[in-house]
A = this chain, B = another copy of it.
Amino acid sequence: MIYITRKEHFNAAHKLANPAWTDEQNLEVFGKCSNPNWHGHNYYLYVTVKGEIKPDTGYTVNLKDLSVLIRTHITDKLDHKNLNLDVDFMKGIMPSTEGLAIAIWKQLEKPVRELGGALHCIKLCETENNYVEYFGS
């Protein structure tokens, strides 16, 4: 069993605000992240897949296929978008780094399995000072 990771990136706008709360409550909890006019980030996404090495290629999965898969299912939908408004699979989900990482896992789990591997970890970096990791449960 070996673990292979592909890094991709996307740039997006978002804000953190609970729609059930007042602006003052949101400012108190989320601080600057609740700015009504949005802010944004350069996100770095690390997708880790585990599997056996195929004897004829030396590959676990072909990284070019994995990269196309991530772009199709994730980064084409997130890059240069508003995470609160523009993304089908984020409807009704708070676009915190945690919420986004789990949503990405749900989008990728099945396609990665069809590629011949098993999704092991979604690591999502929002800034160089914070990131989350999700292992599926």
Interfacial residues, chain A to chain B (CB-CB below 8 A): 1-9, 11-14, 16, 18, 20, 29-33, 35, 37-42, 48, 53, 56-60, 62-64, 79-82, 85-86, 93-99, 101-102, 127-135, 137
Contact = CB atoms under 8 A, between A and B. Distances in A.
Contact of A41 (B5, B30, B41): B41
A7 to B, nearest CB: 5
Chain A binding surface, main DSSP class: mixed
**Copies of this chain, whole number:** 6
A127 B42 contact: yes
B32 A12 contact: no
Given A38-B13, A40-B38, A82-B39, A132 B95 contact: no
A96 B32 CA distance: 23
A47 to B, nearest CB: 10
A7 B95 CA distance: 21
Given A18-B56, A57-B29, A95-B58, A6 B130 contact: yes
